[in-house]
Structure 1
Amino acid sequence: MKFFFVLNGKKLKQLSIIIVAAFFTAGILFVERNEIMVFSTSDGPQAFYKAKTDEKVLSLSFNISWGDQRAIPILDILKDKDVQATFFLSGSWAERHPEIVERIVEDGHEIGNHGYQYEKYPSWDDEKIKKDIRRGDQVLSELTRKKPTLLRPPHGQFDKRVLSIADKLDYSITHWSVNSYDWQNPGVDKIVEGTLESADKGDVILLHASDSAKQTHKALPIIVDRLKGKGYKFVTVSELIASTTTKSEEIK
């Protein structure tokens, strides 16, 4: 009986090791907000979401896909606070609001591609994804006279296939490491507290400048002032990538 127990114990241990190894090889990653599960491979493409650095630097990133009432107040705050940020714009929105795009450029902010339509890429075939990225690229390039190099897919949803397509179109996908949840309109205090509790060196903070985010412009000056009070400096996402060792997630 003792021999039988030991033998099965060894088999059980071996089986456990195999299961654990398979789990970590898959590298399960949970993408914030959208709750999609993706898997990594050792040689797969990567999405940037945080920089590994000892310097107190981080990036504010804003998504815009709808409306024209929230963007200007946010731009006014950033200008008043002397903060540079990165704005991910959907092409269809940019076409409707070229004057706001011009203001973003004039204020020295970085612009990234947020696709053309605000639809979920993983549900589309390859050609449709390529067409949407290219259309967004064309609109933003014409309006800003500069080709964007960063892509944040609509809804933040992507997989290895989307990463591969983006890479072939000379884009780097940028996610985020701190979600302010401002899109839920949970209250100014909760947006501020949640962001400040999570923010750390090298983080990319997700915020929104669409009209659906009704409290961001009230929370933003508090967030900026308190982070500055802690010694943080704000840089664009591209500056964060260029000046530090990037931290990325491998996606399948």
Structure 2
Amino acid sequence: MKKVILLLGLFAGVSLLFLGSLKNPLPEKTLLTQSDSITTMATLAPIKNKALRKQIQSLAKQHDIKPIDATVDRVWKAIPGYNGLVVDIEASYQKMLASSDFDTKQLVYKETSPQVHLKDLPPSPIYKGNPEKNMVALLINVAWGNEFIPPILATLNKSQVKATFFFDGSWVKKNPDLAKTIHMEGHEIGNHAYSHPNLQHKSQTETMDELKKTNDVIEATVGTKPIWFAPPSGSFNQETINIARQLDMLTILWTVDSVDWKKPATAEMVKRVVTGVTSGSMILMHPTKPTAEGLGKMIADIEANGYHLGTVSEIMSENRISERP
């Protein structure tokens, strides 16, 4: 009797399971499809990511720009180097990984340094920046012309441009407040010797004294030590260059001369300067009436021609103007 009851109970349980499966049939096909989809996604993701990396690597080869070493040119003498540019493959890959889609706007670039730098070169004068760097620098030599300095500073401030002012040491001694104003407005300060001498005819001792006294008075007045030296009237010899280097300064000349000290017509001066400018040009000026009147137009025209304006340090820097090619 017990065996019969047990068999009946077992039969009833099996029947219930069978009936339940008829009401809610197992979604076998659906479960398999979802499983297949997950497996497929897991399989395709690394394949897609691998393809993404290959796309970045392929494009990187097309966009690599080799760095340019500093060199001594036969005509222009010392020329600074210029950084190269490469695609940072790993950083670009990580940036695009979230979407797994290749996007040139998401590429990350990094600069590569040249092997030869400006300070590796033998002591030489510098007349211009690297011609591949789309920048122009304004050099303003100051030994006189105080009345024109305020309007020049106002124009530079309005144009949001910084210049390099080369101070005569005796001028700084007589005009400390004006020297401080120029420095406080963010302009770079260079050495222009102490008494505006013709250094080509000075002894080593005299030249050393002229440059060192100027550095000392500039440092005492504005708190910065010059790293650039501009010989008065562009007069120098190799000893001048060597002594400047001994004092940790490089010698700066110019590419384009405004000749403003001859008091040319302002419009003519501006036109001559602007048409003479190319990438890497350094423009020589003084605090004169033509410069005070024409500086705004000069800056506007130079920028309209696609050039960036900066200090001597900026144009001599190996850093690229833009991270992207």
Matched, 1:156 2:156: no
Contact kept, 8 Å, 2:130 with 2:316, in 1: the verdict is no
Q: C-alpha displacement at 1:103, in angstroms?
A: 1.2
1:4-26: per-residue Cα shift (whole Å, max 9, x none)? Answer: xxxxxxxxxxxxxxxxxxxxxxx
Question: What amino acid is the match of 2:243?
Answer: I
Matched, 1:175 2:253: yes
Which of residues 276, 296, 301 is equivalent to 1:221? 296
What stretches of structure 1 of length at least 5 have no aligned partner? 1-26, 30-42, 246-252
CA distance in 1, matches of 2:134, 2:210: 36
- SS of match in other structure, 1:74: helix
Contact kept, 8 Å, 1:72 with 1:100, in 2: the verdict is no
Higher helix fraction: Structure 1 or Structure 2? 2
Residue 3 of structure 1 is matched in structure 2 by none
1:92-123: per-residue Cα shift (whole Å, max 9, x none)? Answer: 01111111111111111000000111110111
Residue 91 of structure 1 is matched in structure 2 by 169
Matched, 1:145 2:223: yes
CA distance in 2, matches of 1:105, 1:66: 17
Residue 146 of structure 2 is matched in structure 1 by 68
- Map residues 29-48 of structure 1 onto 2, 5 A cutoff: 45-48=123-126
CA distance in 2, matches of 1:243, 1:91: 30
Q: C-alpha displacement at 1:28, in angstroms?
A: 8.0
Question: What amino acid is the match of 2:163?
Answer: A
Aligned residues: 204
Question: What amino acid is the match of 2:177?
Answer: E
1:179-228: per-residue Cα shift (whole Å, max 9, x none)? Answer: 1111111110121111011001111111111xxx2211111111011111
TM-score between both structures, scaled by the size of structure 2? 0.60
What stretches of structure 2 of length at least 5 have no aligned partner? 1-73, 77-120, 321-325
TM-score between both structures, scaled by the size of structure 1? 0.77
Residue 272 of structure 2 is matched in structure 1 by 194
Contact kept, 8 Å, 2:163 with 2:311, in 1: the verdict is yes
- SS of match in other structure, 2:138: strand
Matched, 1:110 2:185: no
Identity, % of aligned pairs?
A: 30
- SS of match in other structure, 1:87: strand
Residue 119 of structure 1 is matched in structure 2 by 197
Residue 155 of structure 2 is matched in structure 1 by 77
1:39-94: per-residue Cα shift (whole Å, max 9, x none)? Answer: xxxx8521111112334211011001013101111011100110011000101011
CA distance in 1, matches of 2:157, 2:305: 20
Q: Which structure's CA Rg is the greater one?
A: 2
Q: Which has the higher contact order (CA 8 A, sep 6+)?
A: 1
